[in-house]
Structure 1
Amino acid sequence: MSNERKPHILVTGAAGALAQQVINRLRDDYFLVAVDFREQVYLGDDIPSYCIDFNKRVFEDLFRRYDFDGVIHLGRIMSSQETRMRRYNANVLGTQKMLDLSHKYGIERVVILSTYHVYGANAYNPALIDEEAPLKGAGLSMDLIDSVELENLANIYLWRYPDLNITVLRPCNIVGPGVRNSISTLLASRRAPVLAGFSPIMQFIHIDDMADAIVLAYKNNQRGVFNVVPEDWVAYQHALLLCGCTRVPIPSIPPILPRTIARLLNLKSFPPYLMHFFKYPVVIDGRAFRDTFGFKPRRPLKEVFRYYRENKQPV
């Protein structure tokens, strides 16, 4: 067995907590190469790690050098992290480059991390949103356009190049230790804004369960698009109470008002492009992923909320 070549996997977004969890789950059985365009991270002597812009020629050199069998693309950056143009270059053009190289070098397995934000939040959303629902996120905000375009790209390649075996995962809010997204920052804060009169149902998945889901998706080769979500959900304001946050109501009308207040108070965790998600429920249906991959989350909501209750400092 020791003489057999381990399958080679490229993991993007290696500076993120989720990618590092995925890497830890795979490192014994696979030869991994870690890439992030923001910073180089040390993950041990056995894992080559690079800080590379996907749109630069040196990115292709990795494909030549390491002869990858698969790619796990977790390198999508959030709207809060970069300017809009830089984010578009990374999320959309970078993903396109990665998919082109994957096709060129005969890669047989690609897993891409997306987000439930692509569905958009509006008053007319169905009670349970499945994978067939239209992606309305771009219509609500310029800041979600790159997320929707990344998905559209993935779907084009999914059907154009079936040999890539692309699986796209759309998780709900990822939370837990090390997560640095908007919702995690809110749950970890002592005082958290809420839109007066609104408390939409929200879904949360623990980072451990999400890492398990990604590994499961990679190992069980099923092409397609899948929502990833546990079976439980909770109202946003109730989640804040369970996390020990003091709620700070912000007037919700006129629409410009909450955006102005959030900007004045420098509430980076309450960005304007997500304002609708604090108003209208976006409840996604995870049955297809559960049934196809046999996914069973292990971390209940109460464990998530206990973590934030006991760790009340900026995450």
Structure 2
Amino acid sequence: MSEQRKPRILVTGAAGALTQQVINRLRDNCDIVAVDFRQQVYLGDDIPSYCIDLNKRGFEDLFRQYRFDGVIHLGRLMTSELTRMRRYNANVLGTQRLLDLSHKYGIKRVIILSTFHVYGAMAYNPALIDEAAPLKSAGLSADLVDSVELENLANIYLWRYPELNITILRPCNIVGPGVRNTMSALLSSERAPVLAGFSPMMQFIHIDDMADAIVLAWQKPVKGVFNVAPHDWVAYQQALKMCGCKRIPILSVPPIVPKAIARLLNLKSFPHYLLAFFKYPVVIDGRAFAREFGFKPKRPLKEIFRYYRNNKRPV
């Protein structure tokens, strides 16, 4: 008998630390093809890697050439990247093209990485937000429209084409070594801004645990939308204290705050929409994912914060 062929997976967002962790976990048991439209990434001689725009004609050639069994779409652009229109083209139109090609070429498994930001930060959020909660963030910030539209699009395909077996993951704050998002920049800074009078509850998931969660989702083709978060949380100011950050109170006057925070953290810019997340809690319920996929985070908050306490970046 001939040896069974390994499943062949297209993985997007190859330049990201999380994507590379997922690839490393899957490379022994799967044939991986990696793409990123921002830069060419070398992942070893065994993994073909392409710098290609999902909206360009050449992208379909990969589907023809490799005949993928599954797609793991981790290439969502963050709000700090590119202009709003280019981000919309990449996140929404690029995802639509990816899903259309997945349907056209008979893909049997699709995983899409979203974010808990789609729920929106509001004073009246419930204590634990489950997957049935409305996605309010598009009405609160134009910067999150592409994130919500990406999800709405994925949900349409989830029900229209059940054979794609689409799973949408909404993680809480992903942090840890190699993560280059705003939250990681805050936790690793010597001095971190806080909005005077506010210290909302927050959740953090270590990049190792998030990579494990994505691999578990790949291994068990269960359709649907799932929050991914540990069942513990901590007040933002307490998190900063445990990370050894000096807290700098800033008055929450909207036009001034993002510029002040960006200057303090030595960032190019600070996303305006994030301000609400430093005022109001957005605590998501990750029990459905844990139950369905047997997921249990291994890295506790103490370990996450110890990493940031011991690895301060110069400001």
Instruction: Encode CA deviations 1:212-250: one digit per residue, 9 max, x unaligned.
Output: 000000111100000000111100011001001111110
CA, structure 1 residues 185+269, in 2 after alignment: closer, same or farther (shift >3 Å)? farther
| 1:258 corresponds to 2:257 | yes
- Structure-1 residue corresponding to 2:211: 211
Instruction: Encode CA deviations 1:27-53: one digit per residue, 9 max, x unaligned.
Output: 000000000000011000000000000
Give matches, 1:122-271, under 5 Å. 122-252=122-252, 254-259=253-258, 261-262=260-261, 267-268=267-268, 270-271=270-271
3-state SS of 1:217 partner: helix
Give matches, 1:1-315, under 5 Å. 3-252=3-252, 254-259=253-258, 261-262=260-261, 267-268=267-268, 270-313=270-313
CA, structure 1 residues 263+24, in 2 after alignment: closer, same or farther (shift >3 Å)? closer
Task: Output the CA distance in 1 between the equivalents of 2:248 and 2:221.
Answer: 45
Q: Where do 5+ consecutive residues of structure 2 fail to align? A: none
3-state SS of 1:179 partner: coil
Task: Output the CA distance in 1 between the equivalents of 2:236 and 2:270.
Answer: 13
Q: Where do 5+ consecutive residues of structure 1 fail to align? A: none
Task: Output the CA distance in 2 between the equivalents of 1:19 and 1:290.
Answer: 21
Q: TM-score, normalised by structure 1?
A: 0.97
3-state SS of 1:216 partner: helix
CA, structure 1 residues 260+178, in 2 after alignment: closer, same or farther (shift >3 Å)? closer
Task: Output the CA distance in 1 between the equivalents of 2:267 and 2:90.
Answer: 25
Task: Output the CA distance in 1 between the equivalents of 2:261 and 2:163.
Answer: 46
3-state SS of 1:256 partner: coil
Deviation at 1:268? 4.8
CA, structure 1 residues 22+169, in 2 after alignment: closer, same or farther (shift >3 Å)? same
Is the CA contact 1:185–1:314 (under 8 Å) kept in the aligned structure 2? no
Is the CA contact 1:186–1:269 (under 8 Å) kept in the aligned structure 2? no
CA, structure 1 residues 263+310, in 2 after alignment: closer, same or farther (shift >3 Å)? closer
- RMSD, aligned α-carbons: 1.5
CA, structure 1 residues 280+185, in 2 after alignment: closer, same or farther (shift >3 Å)? same
3-state SS of 1:178 partner: coil
Task: Output the CA distance in 2 between the equivalents of 1:2 and 1:75.
Answer: 35
3-state SS of 1:125 partner: coil
CA, structure 1 residues 248+221, in 2 after alignment: closer, same or farther (shift >3 Å)? same
Instruction: Encode CA deviations 1:83-122: one digit per residue, 9 max, x unaligned.
Output: 1111111100000000000000000000000000000000
CA, structure 1 residues 217+271, in 2 after alignment: closer, same or farther (shift >3 Å)? same
Task: Output the CA distance in 2 between the equivalents of 1:263 and 1:310.
Answer: 23
3-state SS of 2:244 partner: coil
Deviation at 1:5? 1.2
Deviation at 1:314? 5.7
